[in-house]
Amino acid sequence: MKRQLTIALALLAVLGLGAGLLPRPALANGAASTRNILLGIGAATYLIIQHNRVVHQREAAAAAQQAAIAQQRNDAWAAYRAAERSAHQEALANAELHKELAFEKSVVAQQQRQLAALHVGSNFTHVVAATGSHGNQQVIASDGLGWGTL
């Protein structure tokens, strides 16, 4: 019984609401109709403009993001190229230093061979300039380990 009552009340509510929704003949009012059409066109235009603005903002943001990514990529390549140039310059400088070191080693080896050919010991003092008369020799300057004699 309670179920039948609920169904009957629901049916009455639907019929009552349905009666208010039934189509009625329209009143012909030309000024109101024209006003409503113009307002609808204005609202549609406004919505289209706002939609286009949002779309353009999204496109601009996407373009800016792509430009930032491209700039980062270009910066990374520039940094890589700079590091590559720096490494190349360093390699050239190292090669030049190796050449100079090899030359200096060859000069030292040549001087050591010349000294060995002279049979000079470790307490070597080479007289650069000497003065004196009749066997009375006086050393003015020397190179080597000692000061020499004055």
CA–CA dist 103, 109 (Å, integer): 10
Residue 53 structure tokens: 């603005």
CA–CA dist 32, 29 (Å, integer): 6
pLDDT of residue 28: 64
* CB-CB neighbours of 140 under 10 Å: 13
Three-state SS at 35: helix
Three-state SS at 144: strand
- Among the ranges given (44-48, 102-106, 133-137), the one the predictor scored with the smallest mean pLDDT: 133-137
pLDDT of residue 95: 92
pTM of the model: 0.37
CA separation (Å) from 31 to 25, 26, 43, 44?
Answer: 18, 14, 18, 20
Mean of per-residue pLDDT scores for the chain: 80
The set of residues, in sequence order, having a beta carbon less than 8 Å from that of 31 and lying 6+ positions away, is: none
Q: For 92-125, what is each residue's pLDDT tens digit?
A: 999 999 999 999 999 999 998 888 888 655 555 5
pLDDT of residue 133: 57
Mean pLDDT over 43-53 rounds to 95
- Residue 44 reports pLDDT greater than 60: yes
Contact 138, 132 (CB under 8 A): yes
pLDDT band at 1 (very low <50, low <70, confident <90, very high): confident
Mean pLDDT over 17-34 rounds to 69
Please, what's the b/e burial string for 29-44 (b: 16 or more CB within 10 A of its CB; e: otherwise)?
Answer: eeeeeeeeeeeeeeee
